[in-house]
């Protein structure tokens, strides 16, 4: 019986952005006799050179996300049944036809060498997906010693050893061990493992962490022990030897109803998939007389529902990877107007969070208070909350605009627009001196800066443009409602506002067009405490503020950074 088919609403929205005929491949996960289609990749055109084929992308996916069908966009056709030859997740692969004229999605099953109409697709939201599935993240290190000419054989041997049951896994948060021949009942479910592991930190990805260990001895009875004399053969010849540690960092996407014992084979597949991905990266480097150990990085583009894994060779910058990133963007139908796979785009996991790290996206914990029909627009993307006394630097009373600038700069950094570190107060001051805006003695001083200087620094360090808005009094702030809404809808970047002696960061706006009632989502850089989200929210350092927040006798300048077009 063909599986029930669900499809991600995020993928449906992505299909609506396609404008030309094409074909592609579908990726999804099978669970409880239901196929959940999560993403697609487009086939390259015949004229393209040095391309990535969609089938190759499976190694970049979390284990359990597999090739599950084909996609036909517009009037394009695929060679049936040849197009289905690489699909082994199901005996009844899926074909989806997408109409460019009316955005209609038509699903078909390939059953007994015939295309049969499938029942209507169930469209599920991203939130519903994460009610059904969880990520497992496995990290380990494998020593590799091999001759350069035998690297492929070394990877094959390593995969064979892992698949033979010689490894075990440990879920540290639940203190559960899984062994290849383990017959002990493990009734705990993935959902229960997640409850023990998830931390719900804004801006961080929650995963179930697991480690891998190798069995050092075999379980053999005395009767099975072979008795023979050791033989040593010595051959003297020159050769190139490679000795390195291979750092595995791999993901699996698993159904929350699975029990721990059902995860063993999935984790083995995840490690083997990661080994193939790393092998491909190293072999491509050797073809170009390079050898840099890859660093595994995970990414989640905005219009993508699941994570993608990319091996970044150490010492290779995002700019050096530009050609590869461009091919990947094209394959996954991204607009190539903003970076998706630069180092700065890599996701952060809750396990890697440190208590003194700047808090990411604190506004996610803020409850809205304005009711009724309102227009609402909020910053989109990761940013870090920078405030007084951070980094063991005392800027209380004068550094609020510097901190607001750092918050804005963090948005560009975490969106992958720059690899530059967050500028310090001294770096900001030196930049203003270098462009002739301030005298040399400004460096190292405790002098304030305003929105104009913030704009100068952003333009200089990031090469972007800024837009400036003005309100002659606090009462006039509502005159800027539509301009701020447009900014957050299109640019999605935090806004710095300076007025009187204070600077703040605006993260969003909501207003009722009829009553004119307005609220601004404010991030206050004057906070001087520890990185405690509960305190920051409960004490109002990040929250919605009404019109009384603005001083009636103050003049306000707003610095609105603009997104550059780059990838």
Residue range 319-348, pLDDT digits in tens: 888 889 999 999 999 988 899 999 999 999
Model pLDDT, residue 66: 94
Superfamily of domain 4-124: Cytidine Deaminase, domain 2 (3.40.140.10)
Residue that wins the pLDDT comparison between 400 and 367: 400
- pLDDT 10s digits, 219-257: 655 555 667 788 888 888 787 888 999 999 999 999 999
Model pLDDT, residue 542: 98
Model pLDDT, residue 50: 73
Pick the CATH number of 362-561 from 3.10.450.50, 3.30.70.20, 3.90.70.130, 3.30.200.20: 3.90.70.130
Work out the average pLDDT over 123-128: 94
* 89 alpha carbon, distance to own chain's centre: 25
Q: In 3-state terms, what secondary structure has residue 115?
A: strand
Model pLDDT, residue 219: 61
Model pLDDT, residue 538: 96
Work out the average pLDDT over 409-431: 97
Work out the average pLDDT over 212-220: 75
Q: How far is CA 545 from CA 117, 407, 472, 536, in A?
A: 53, 19, 19, 14
Q: Mean pLDDT for the chain? A: 91
C-alpha–C-alpha distance, residues 425 and 436, integer Å: 17
Residue whose pair of structure tokens reads 């009844």 in the numeric block: 92
Model pLDDT, residue 369: 63
Model pLDDT, residue 408: 99
Is residue 340 within 8 Å of 324, Cβ to Cβ?
no
| CA angle, residues 380, 385, 387, in degrees to nearest 5 | 145
Q: Percent helix, strand, coil in the chain (nearest 5)? A: 30, 30, 45
On the question of pLDDT at 552 being above 50, the answer is yes
Work out the average pLDDT over 524-547: 96
> What residues act catalytically?
400, 524, 526
Percentage of residues in the chain with pLDDT exceeding 70? 96
pLDDT band at 75 (very low <50, low <70, confident <90, very high): confident
Q: Please state which of the ranges 145-154, 439-448, 459-468 shows the lowest mean pLDDT.
A: 145-154
C-alpha–C-alpha distance, residues 155 and 21, integer Å: 40
C-alpha–C-alpha distance, residues 385 and 524, integer Å: 9
On the question of pLDDT at 350 being above 60, the answer is yes
Domain boundaries, the chain: 4-124, 131-217+238-345, 362-561
Residue whose pair of structure tokens reads 């935090």 in the numeric block: 494
On the question of pLDDT at 183 being above 60, the answer is no
Model pLDDT, residue 185: 45
Model pLDDT, residue 371: 58
Q: In 3-state terms, what secondary structure has residue 203?
A: coil
| CA angle, residues 151, 154, 155, in degrees to nearest 5 | 90
pLDDT band at 476 (very low <50, low <70, confident <90, very high): very high
Q: Note if the bond before 228 is cis, omega within 30 degrees.
A: no
Is residue 339 within 8 Å of 416, Cβ to Cβ?
yes
Residue that wins the pLDDT comparison between 86 and 167: 167
- pLDDT 10s digits, 39-56: 999 998 877 777 788 888
């Amino acid at each position: 019986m063909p599986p029930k088919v669900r499809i991600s609403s995020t993928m449906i929205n992505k299909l609506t952005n396609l404008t030309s005929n094409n074909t592609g491949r579908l990726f999804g996960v099978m669970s409880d006799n239901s196929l959940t289609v999560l993403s697609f990749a487009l086939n390259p055109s015949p004229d393209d050179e040095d391309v990535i084929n969609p089938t190759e992308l499976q190694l970049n996916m979390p284990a359990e996300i597999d090739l599950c069908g084909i996609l036909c966009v517009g009037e394009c056709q695929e060679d049936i049944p040849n197009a289905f030859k690489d699909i082994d997740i199901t005996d009844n692969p899926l074909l989806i036809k997408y109409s460019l004229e009316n955005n209609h999605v038509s699903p078909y099953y390939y059953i007994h060498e015939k295309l049969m109409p499938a029942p209507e697709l169930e469209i599920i939201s991203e939130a519903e997906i994460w009610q059904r599935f969880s990520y497992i993240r496995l990290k380990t290190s494998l020593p590799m010693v091999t001759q350069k000419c035998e690297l492929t054989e070394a990877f094959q041997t390593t995969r064979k050893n892992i698949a033979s049951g010689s490894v075990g896994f440990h879920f540290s948060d639940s203190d559960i061990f899984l062994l290849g021949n383990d017959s002990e009942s493990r009734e705990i479910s993935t959902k229960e493992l997640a409850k023990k592991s998830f931390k719900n930190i804004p801006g961080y990805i929650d995963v179930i962490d697991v480690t891998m260990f190798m069995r050092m001895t075999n379980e053999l009875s005395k009767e099975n022990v072979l008795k023979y004399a050791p033989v040593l053969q010595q051959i003297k010849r020159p050769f190139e030897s490679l000795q390195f540690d291979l750092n595995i960092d791999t993901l699996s996407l698993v159904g929350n109803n699975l029990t721990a014992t059902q995860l063993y084979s999935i984790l083995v597949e995840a490690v083997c998939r990661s080994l193939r991905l790393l092998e491909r990266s190293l072999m491509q480097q050797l073809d170009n007389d390079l050898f840099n150990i890859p660093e595994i990085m995970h990414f989640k583009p905005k219009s993508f529902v699941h994570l993608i894994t990319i091996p970044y060779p150490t010492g290779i910058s995002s700019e050096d990877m530009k050609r590869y990133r461009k091919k990947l963007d094209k394959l996954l139908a991204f607009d190539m107007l903003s970076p998706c796979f630069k180092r700065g785009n890599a996701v952060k996991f809750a396990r890697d969070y440190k208590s003194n790290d700047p808090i990411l996206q604190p506004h996610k914990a803020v409850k809205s208070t304005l009711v009724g029909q309102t227009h609402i627009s909020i910053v989109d993307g990761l940013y870090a909350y920078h405030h007084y006394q951070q980094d063991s630097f005392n800027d209380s009373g004068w550094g609020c605009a510097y901190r607001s600038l750092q918050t804005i700069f963090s948005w560009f950094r975490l969106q992958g627009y720059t690899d530059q570190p967050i500028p310090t107060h001294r770096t900001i001051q030196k930049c203003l001196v270098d462009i002739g805006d301030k005298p040399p003695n400004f460096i190292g001083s405790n002098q304030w800066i305003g929105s104009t200087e913030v704009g100068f620094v952003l333009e200089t360090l990031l090469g972007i443009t800024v837009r400036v808005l003005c309100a002659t009094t606090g009462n006039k702030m509502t005159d800027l409602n539509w301009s701020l809404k447009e900014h957050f809808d299109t640019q999605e970047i935090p806004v710095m506002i300076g007025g009187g002696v204070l600077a703040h960061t605006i993260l969003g706006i909501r207003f009722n067009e009829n009553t004119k009632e307005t609220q601004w989502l404010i991030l206050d850089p004057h906070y001087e405490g520890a990185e405690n989200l509960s305190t920051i929210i409960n004490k109002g350092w990040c929250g919605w503020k009404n019109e009384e927040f603005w001083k009636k006798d103050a003049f306000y300048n707003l610095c609105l950074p603009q997104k550059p077009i780059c990838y």
